[in-house]
Amino acid sequence: MPLDNQKIRGQFSLLAWNSSNDYDYVCLTTLWKGKKKSNSPSEKITVMWSHENSYGVIGSKVGDFIDVYLRTDEHEGIFVRRKIAIDLIECFTGLKICEVEFIENPKAKFLSKDKPRIKRAKWLPNEEVDIVLLYSNNYIINETDQIKTDFFTVKRISTGDNWFMCDENTATKLMKKGYSQLLIEQNDIPL
């Protein structure tokens, strides 16, 4: 594993992100804020469709991977369609699935000032979709930890950041699959 001076070098981070400049995709909001979180996301995670995103515009298309508005330090893993998560678990090591529980966003039925919505909100998904959280419970916390799987999670204790990562071989295979809304970048992560 390329670790030196307490850095993970040359590994690849994964993020659900609009890398195509097509801003017609839906976005999730997690409800982790202010909750105590266990070491891994083994319990159901509560989410809702977000009426906001980082780009200022939002659409109704559902990508293979789903972006999260206002990611928190507690965020771990990546939201993905269940069938893709199962395929990835069969192809690679170090992956786990966490179920998600959807709640309704109050803005789906009401506009500002509690006026009922007449039309369906444009930011709601245009299809029913089964989404799960895909994560790795192989944690790299310090320079003595070993990367033993294709996917792993780097945790920086000093900042509380989590990085969902894979090795170069895995990143190359993922890029060939051509998934939508998946950003794969090479990073050096200080521990």
pLDDT in tens, 65-111: 888 876 655 567 889 999 999 999 999 999 999 999 888 888 888 87
State residue 38's pLDDT score.
46
Cβ–Cβ < 8 Å for 18, 181:
yes
Tokens of 92: 């690679």
Q: Residue 18 has what pLDDT?
A: 61
CA–CA distance, 45 with 31 (Å, rounded to integer):
8
Q: CA-CA distance, 116 to 105, in Å (whole number)?
A: 13
CB 133 within 8 A of CB 41: yes
Q: Note the pLDDT tens digit of each residue in 173-182.
A: 999 999 988 8
Q: What is the mean pLDDT of residues 27-55?
A: 69
Amino acid at 79: F
pLDDT grade for 39, boundaries at 50, 70 and 90 = very low
Which is it for the CA torsion 149, 150, 151, 155, positive or negative? positive
Q: Which of 101, 103, 83, 130 is nearest to 43 (CA)?
A: 101
| 137 or 76, greater pLDDT | 137
Q: What is the pTM of this model?
A: 0.82
Q: 3-class DSSP state for residue 29?
A: strand
Three-class DSSP category at 183 = strand
Q: Does residue 189 contact residue 154 with C-beta atoms inside 8 Å? A: yes
Say whether pLDDT at 61 is over 60: yes
Kindly state the percentage of the chain with pLDDT values over 90.
Answer: 23
Q: Which of 32-46, 89-103, 110-124, 133-147 has the highest mean pLDDT?
A: 89-103
- Per domain, the residue ranges of the chain are 3-190
Question: At 36, is the secondary structure helix, strand, or coil?
Answer: coil
Residue 3 confidence class, pLDDT cut points 50, 70, 90: very low
15, β-bridge pairs = 183
Over 70: is that where the pLDDT of 1 sits? no
Query: CA-CA distance, 97 to 101, in Å (whole number)?
Result: 13
**Separation of alpha carbons 56 and 53, rounded Å:** 6
42 pLDDT exceeds 90? no
Residue-level pLDDT at 9? 60
**Mean predicted confidence (pLDDT) in 9-32:** 71
